[in-house]
């Protein structure tokens, strides 16, 4: 265990951190609330845009709020907020900006977070119809909220204490960190934490409110020339406050080994689903790994800094530092701003 936590991982120059979080709380008997947030923090470099530059700092800050029925998971209200976006409206964008697709998400009020919601979400907001960052966040929420509700129902039945109104009982946090090494690799680390807590009560406060803390940690190495996944380690554990011994990390390297040797983009999500599927016992591992590709796109954007491009080229024998996906946006039609016929994409090409 000590070697797992104190190895030589993430020893290079930090480039980027993507943070995603989802929390669920009860607001009334027939209304519960969920909120998801995504923040992209560039830690190094200065990236060229069409008519500007993006320095280190917050690149994206976006949130989605849901008002739900606890039993049916029907969404009565969907709210979207985007304080920080990568592309603001300007002459170069023809007056368009990253906030333009948000009404498509708001219009999903009335939908239910059932097994088919993710497919319906992609049809309404995927690719050139929406924003890839909000899509990634909503997909995570669609997986997280039903899990949180199920855990809380089980706790209520076991302990006999209902969820108190105004009480947050579940929070999921996922952090994706990327660093560039002197070698041919990029280091990517993913850490997931699911925190489930019981209602406050006399004598129940602080750490005593913890029901369980479920953790997943993934460490990946990505080759810089072709963006191929070269190594992947995955560990998982669940901590309970009343446990007599430290929780043991479970090794899942054999489970994810078939993902190694394939490109990060495209097709990583499909390979993860094919490998892990809908197994409920592996949901947290699947949800962690599904952040690998979208988080990696953000990490590689920092490599567009001229200095890092030069160093990367030297490190990989003068090959191009990064494929086109490493720009500050993404592949053609990956989102509304990057659709093939958008003013912004045309400006980039010209």
pLDDT at 326: 42
- How does residue 333 score in pLDDT terms, banded at 50, 70 and 90? confident
- How does residue 140 score in pLDDT terms, banded at 50, 70 and 90? very high
Which residue bears the tokens 């560990």?
235
pLDDT higher than threshold 60 for residue 329: no
Cα angle 197, 145, 85 (rounded to 5 degrees) comes to 110
**What would the mean pLDDT of 18-29 be, rounded to a whole number?**
94
Q: Which of 7-11, 207-211, 340-344 has the lowest mean pLDDT?
A: 7-11
Span 102-118, pLDDT tens digits: 999 999 999 999 999 99
pLDDT at 270: 94
Span 288-327, pLDDT tens digits: 999 999 999 999 888 877 666 665 555 545 454 444 444 4
Interacting residues of 111 by C-beta distance below 8 A, sequence separation 6+:
74, 75, 117, 120
**CA 50, 52, 53, 55: dihedral to nearest 10 degrees?**
-140
CA 149/CA 145 separation, integer angstroms: 6
Which residue bears the tokens 């050139």?
128
Which DSSP string do the residues of 301-328 spell out, in sequence order? HGGGSHHHHHHHHHHTTT--SS-GGGSS
Is residue 192 within 8 Å of 215, Cβ to Cβ?
yes
pTM for the full predicted model: 0.90
pLDDT higher than threshold 60 for residue 34: yes
Which residue bears the tokens 């890839």?
132
Which DSSP string do the residues of 226-275 spell out, in sequence order? TTEEEEEEEEEEEE-TT-SSPPPPEE-HHHHGGGTTSBSTTTHHHHHHHH
Q: Which of 8-17, 131-140, 339-348 has the lowest mean pLDDT?
A: 8-17
């Amino acid at each position: 265990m000590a070697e797992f936590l104190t190895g030589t991982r993430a020893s290079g120059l930090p480039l980027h951190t993507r943070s995603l979080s989802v929390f669920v709380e009860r607001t009334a008997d027939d209304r519960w609330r969920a909120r998801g947030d995504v923040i992209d923090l560039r830690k190094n470099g200065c990236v060229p845009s069409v008519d500007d530059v993006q320095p280190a700092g917050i690149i994206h800050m976006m949130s989605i709020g849901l008002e739900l029925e606890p039993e049916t998971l029907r969404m009565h209200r969907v709210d979207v907020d985007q304080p920080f976006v990568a592309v603001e409206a300007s002459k170069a964008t023809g007056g368009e900006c990253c906030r333009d697709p948000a009404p498509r998400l708001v219009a999903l009020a009335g939908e239910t977070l059932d097994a088919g919601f993710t497919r319906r979400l992609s049809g309404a907001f995927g690719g050139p119809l929406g924003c890839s960052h909000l899509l990634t966040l909503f997909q995570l929420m669609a997986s997280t909220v039903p899990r949180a509700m199920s855990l809380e129902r089980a706790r209520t039945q076991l302990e006999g204490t209902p969820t108190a109104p105004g009480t947050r009982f579940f929070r999921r946090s996922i952090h994706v960190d990327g660093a560039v090494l002197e070698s041919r690799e990029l280091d990517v680390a993913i850490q997931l934490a699911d925190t489930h807590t019981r209602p406050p009560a006399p004598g129940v406060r602080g750490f005593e409110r913890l029901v369980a803390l479920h953790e997943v940690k993934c460490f990946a190495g990505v080759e810089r020339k072709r963006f191929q996944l070269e190594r992947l380690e995955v560990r998982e554990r669940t901590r309970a406050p009343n446990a007599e011994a430290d929780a043991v990390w479970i090794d899942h390297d054999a489970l994810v080994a078939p993902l190694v040797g394939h490109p990060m983009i495209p097709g990583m999500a499909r390979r993860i689903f094919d490998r892990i599927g809908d197994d409920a016992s592996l949901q947290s591992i699947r949800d962690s790994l599904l952040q690998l590709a979208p988080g990696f796109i953000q990490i590689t954007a920092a490599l567009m800094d001229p200095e890092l491009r030069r160093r990367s080229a030297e490190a990989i024998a003068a090959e191009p530092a990064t494929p086109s996906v490493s720009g500050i946006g993404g592949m053609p039609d990956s989102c509304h701003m990057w659709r093939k016929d958008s003013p912004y994409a045309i400006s980039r090409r010209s």
